[in-house]
Amino acid sequence: MTETLKKGTARIQRVPLGAVSVPLSFGDQVITSLLFNHDANPVHHKPDHAVQWMLGLASSAALVGDNAELAQAGPEERAYRLGAKLLQYPEIVVMPGIVLSALCYERFVGPEELTVSVTTTFTYPLLVPTTGKVEVKIEAFELRGESPLDPELGQARHLLLEAHGPALEGEQVKLLKLEALVYPAGTNPERVYEKIVAPEFERLEKLRDQKPGFPGISHPASISEEDRRRYARIVGFDRRIGPLAWQAKIPRVLTEIIYHMALHEGYQAEVKAYHEGRGDEAERRQAIARYVDKEVKYRQLEPSAREARIEELSGLTQQLYARQHTVFDPRLFVQGGPATQAQTPLKLDLHMYDLRLRRGIHRFYTGARLGDRQVFMGEAMVTGQPLVTKELASFLAEINNSFETLKLFEYHPRA
């Protein structure tokens, strides 16, 4: 059913293009995770670490989906209810959202079309069981009624894709929303670059050095022919290397820069200054201390290591990929273009340009270079929070679960 929306003075029609249900299983997901995320990131590979990571999010209202009762509950109640539910299903991994967005995109955009930009908002982490599968429903719409960005180029396709999957409580939740600007096959890529892409590149380039004292990193990347085949398998089509295959590389570098942030003096100084003297931070540390006392009591930890353990758990963070906006140079992605060739060496650049600790928001400039040419530029927004929240520490201490292994404590009698 066509839906009419009002955007400024224009009336935009949201025209359905179709819907498809896609089964996602552990095997293919992990292969893609290994390829397009950092191998050292355990969240996507080990079920026990995935549960640990999800438990850190359990008190967040974002995880309750459409459950109005839980949405209105306090963080403690959410942590206990969702945490108990999560521990019933420990054999799970977390599907990388950026790969899920590629899976959605490839179903509704052909490789011969010119992709100008893709904006993905990630709303919920998708859990995939190590055995069996989950069904994800993808709905596609085209937004019609806006004037052409450039009359000589003609009308672009403004696509809106949404993916829904199961929440912890069983309800269907929106996993992500993807918006894409795409020109039909045969459109002049030089003209698209000149009129649409170049001005966006100029705007995005200014973000790179906006905060020179903030963390930044450049990382080499390439996609092999074997990588391409595996990517084609996960998206379900025999695709050449395209824009979304390269965009799926960004979380790998985000993982690298998150490691870098842990040692970055300027960033850590801001974090410390923000938390110093805050009452909620004091309460969080007290909860962690009570949990660590449980580790000492059950001889999981030597008493002499107590303070160091509190510091270790207090400093652990989790970063949740919230939004990615990427603008591509279509000249490099035409049939046979350099960005579509296996083993093409790119440099991926990430630089933090904004930090809002009250809301846990980190914003990054993202880009890729082939020699002196920009392949794509964009912005990534990541929400960060402590991995061991006050609610998680209290939950683990009360149910006698170890943070490290998520197994029941065992009593070790003294020799």
pLDDT in tens, 182-226: 999 999 999 999 999 999 999 999 998 888 889 999 989 899 888
Number of DSSP helices (H) and strands (E) in the chain, helices first: 14, 13
Take residue 24 and report the two structure tokens written for it: 């996602």
95, β-bridge pairs: 126
Mean pLDDT over 89-106 rounds to 87
Take residue 18 and report the two structure tokens written for it: 């179709």
Give the lowest-confidence range in 128-142, 227-241, 272-286. Answer: 227-241
Coil, strand or helix at 370: strand
The amino acid at residue 285 is: R
Could you tell me which of 388, 414, 413 has the C-alpha nearest to residue 401? 388
Mean pLDDT over 2-21 rounds to 74
β 216-221/172-183 pair status:
unpaired
369 exposed, middle or buried (CB, 10 Å; 0-12, 13-18, 19+)?
Answer: middle
Compute the half-sphere exposure of residue 388: CA atoms within 13 Å on the CB side of its CA. Answer: 25
Report the predicted TM-score, pTM, of the whole model to 2 decimal places: 0.89
- Contact of 326 with 118, CB cutoff 8 Å: yes
In the predicted model, is pLDDT for residue 414 greater than 60? Answer: no
- For residue 354, the model assigns a pLDDT of 94
Give the lowest-confidence range in 86-100, 102-116, 302-316, 387-401. Answer: 86-100
- For residue 79, the model assigns a pLDDT of 92
Compute the CA torsion angle 88, 65, 287, 265 (nearest 10 deg). 120
In the predicted model, is pLDDT for residue 303 greater than 70? Answer: yes
The amino acid at residue 322 is: A
User: Where in the chain are the domains?
Assistant: 3-262+317-386
In the predicted model, is pLDDT for residue 37 greater than 60? Answer: no
Total number of residues shown for the chain: 415
- For residue 38, the model assigns a pLDDT of 44
How far is residue 292's CA from residue 353's CA, in Å, rounded to a whole number? 36
- For residue 349, the model assigns a pLDDT of 94
Take residue 415 and report the two structure tokens written for it: 């020799």
Cβ neighbour number for residue 6 with a 10 Å cutoff:
9
In the predicted model, is pLDDT for residue 360 greater than 70? Answer: yes
Contacts of 323 (CB under 8 A, 6+ apart): 119, 120, 121, 122, 379, 380, 381
The amino acid at residue 383 is: T
Question: Domain spanning 3-262+317-386 has what CATH number?
Answer: 3.10.129.10
- For residue 39, the model assigns a pLDDT of 44
Does residue 412 or residue 281 have the better pLDDT?
281
- Contact of 103 with 242, CB cutoff 8 Å: no
In the predicted model, is pLDDT for residue 10 greater than 70? Answer: no
β 10-25/3-7 pair status:
antiparallel
Contacts of 317 (CB under 8 A, 6+ apart): 258, 262, 384, 385, 386, 387
Give the lowest-confidence range in 165-174, 186-195, 327-336. Answer: 165-174
In the predicted model, is pLDDT for residue 284 greater than 90? Answer: yes
Q: What is the DSSP letter of 194?
A: I
- For residue 411, the model assigns a pLDDT of 52
Helix axes of 250-263 and 265-275: crossing angle, nearest 10 degrees: 70
- For residue 4, the model assigns a pLDDT of 56
Q: Quick one: CA dihedral 146, 147, 148, 150, positive or negative?
A: negative
